[in-house]
Structures are given as C-alpha cells and as structure tokens.
Amino acid sequence: MSNFLTPDKIRHEYGLEIKEKLIPDGSKLKPNRKLTSGKVEYVTIHNTADIKEAPGTNDAEQYARATHNGAMSGVSVHYYIDETDCWQLLREDEMGYHAADGFGPGNGTSLAIEIIMKGDKSKDDREAEDRGALLAAILLRKHGLSILRLKTHRDWYPKKYCPAYILPHWNDFVKRVMDYTHAMDHPGDVDMDGKVTTKDARLALRAAVGLTKLTGPQTVAADTDGDGKVTTKDARAILKMSVGGSKA
C-alpha cells in the first residue's frame, strides 16, 4: 500500500489542478487562528528547494506529506506547487506559519505559496515558476487584490532572502502574474492587446492543431470553456466573440 497522500478533494481553476488535503482543526501543525482581519490581504511568494523524488510521486506531494507527518519544523503553508503538482494544506481564511513574524502581518494577513525549484534555470524550474505565477494570479483575483498585494517572504522578514530563485528577476515574475490576471479578466484576448479579433481566433486555432505554442497566459485567455486545453471549440467561440470587434 502506498504511503503517498490522497487528496480529500480535487478542483480545477484556469487549467490548474489543485489537490486539497487540509490540516485538521486543532492540529499542532498549524496556528489554528483565523487571518487577523478576517480576510486575505496579501499573497506571499516563497521558494523551497527541489528534493529527490521517490518513485511514483513528486516534490509538492512530498512536502505536503512531510507537513502532515510533522516533519517541517513547524512550518505550515497554504500551497505547495511544483512543475507538475499543487497541494493545498490550509484553508484560505486561516493563518499559516511561513513568514517568520509570529502573529504579525506576514502570517496574519497573507496566503503562502511555496514554489519548489532547483534554482538551475531548468525547464522544470521555469514550469514550476510559471505555475506559481498562475496560482498567485488566481488567488489575487479571487480575493479582489491588486498586484501591489503580491509580496515576497523577504518583505515580511528582511533577513530571509526568499524567494531566493525568483528575487533576482522579481519584476519579471510580477509581470507574469499580471499577464495571467489580464487573461482571466479578458477571455479570448489571446494576443493580449486588449481586444478580441479574428487574429485571436486564428492564434487559438493554430494552437489547437499544434502549429503554435502559446504562453501560459495566452493559453488561459484562449481556453474559453475552462477545460484546461485549447481546442477548435475555443477557436470557434473566440471567432464569435470577435464579431463586432468586442473589447476583451
């Protein structure tokens, strides 16, 4: 029998599969406190190191399982995400232990995303970072927060250089989060120019038949039915949207 975690629930948001295995209330593995103001005010980005994967699993599952097993030295975060998997461990209305500021604003007002990377600029790292940007955009948008509410661990605790692999190009990461938010707010605008035209429909069609590879944000914009992939059905929907030159 496998010792791997089994999610209690799986949901899909903008093509991202999220596995839920929430730490039970009353557990010593989390603060058991609601967010200070009763609502999410920030989203905090962290990096944690890629680890050797056991056969049949991945980094995100291993970190999630280690948390449930009490092997994370008291750290509890809302989400772990890598290049293939994403796990939610805390509800979005409760505090975690992730910002090294006790019951201060880092832990008390923000959701924590741990993006698992090696720091070697590999394909896996790029995909993990991109998926982390997508998750950040999902959470900011869900809670009505602007991009100014996206924070780093270092913002809350300056002695900690984290997210270590993303900080050197933090502005690029922020831009990617903004691109994802734009795509969510402007379905059909595949070329990200602020309007839906036949050009967008052609891009979606080319992607659907394998002639063009879209970026992550472009894929979200093109996936009009939210099934996680771009198909000729999406291209047809975008073509209908383009009639009359509607704004995205």
* SS3 sequence of 29-94: CCCCCECCCCCCCEEEEEEEECCCCCCCCCHHHHHHHHHHCCCCCCCECCEEECCCCEEECCCCCE
Of 208, 207, 220, nearest to 179 by C-alpha is 220
Q: What is the mean pLDDT of the chain?
A: 95
pLDDT greater than 90 at residue 243: no
pLDDT for the residue 248: 56
Average pLDDT over residues 47-63: 93
pLDDT greater than 60 at residue 246: no
pLDDT for the residue 1: 41
pLDDT for the residue 178: 98
Average pLDDT over residues 144-171: 98
- Contact between 26 and 32 (Cβ < 8 Å): yes
pLDDT greater than 60 at residue 207: yes
pLDDT for the residue 244: 65
User: What is the pTM (predicted TM-score) of this model?
Assistant: 0.95
Average pLDDT over residues 158-174: 98
**pLDDT tier at 53, thresholds 50, 70, 90:** confident
- Contact between 141 and 40 (Cβ < 8 Å): no
Of 205, 203, 175, nearest to 190 by C-alpha is 203
Pairing of strands 86-88, 110-117: unpaired
Q: Cis ω on the peptide bond leading into residue 163 (within 30° of 0)?
A: yes
Cβ-based neighbours of 183, under 8 Å, separated by 6 or more? 189, 192, 217, 218, 220, 221
Distance (Å, whole) CA 37 – CA 210: 47
pLDDT in tens, 125-149: 999 999 999 999 999 999 999 999 9
What share of the chain has pLDDT > 70, as a percent?
A: 97
